[in-house]
Amino acid sequence: MILFIDCGDTLCDESTEVRLVPGGVVQQASLFPGAAETLDRIRAMQVPICLVADGLEASFQVILQGLTDRFDGWVVSETVGAEKPSPLMFEAAMQAMDLQEEDKPKILMVGNNVRKDIAGANRFGITSVLADYSPRYDMTPHAPDEVPDYLLHDIRDLPDLILSLSEK
């Protein structure tokens, strides 16, 4: 298995973000309980992890400070010049991880936004996992491509989901 994962309201609780100016670089933020330990468990499972997130590069450097070595790839919309659900984000992640088309069935995209993360993953042909534990965005699919393949109710359950899917 290969993990593509969003940050805001997936690893980090966006309600805790502190910015000096609206839309500016995040100065501090809190991860969801168990997020760092979950990344460690996934790394111990030898599952490659790629950050696939919309926002400013400097914000993710702050939010994920001390955790950047958990990621094998790092794809941020500011650098790519596109935001999810654009296939450019997922293509950049595939390139960052040195993946080929035949690797797509092994990729899970975990995110909290049905319009961006889930629709983007589904359109790109990779498995979509909706992190539904943050109430910030509407979790109701309004189009067929917004329906997730799996639901994740707690970030700490992600390693078990990965294990169950790797056995299929």
On whether the pTM is more than 0.85, the answer is yes
Convert the pLDDT of each residue in 92-146 to its tens digit.
Answer: 999 999 999 999 999 999 999 999 999 999 999 999 999 999 888 889 999 999 9
In whole angstroms, what is the distance from residue 43 CA to residue 37 CA? 10
Both structure tokens of 72: 């094998």
User: What CATH number is attached to the domain comprising 71?
Assistant: 3.40.50.1000
Convert the pLDDT of each residue in 4-38 to its tens digit.
Answer: 999 999 999 999 999 999 889 999 999 999 999 99
In whole angstroms, what is the distance from residue 144 CA to residue 142 CA? 7
**Domains in the chain: how many in total?**
1
What's the domain range around 51? 2-166
- pLDDT of residue 57 exceeding 90: yes
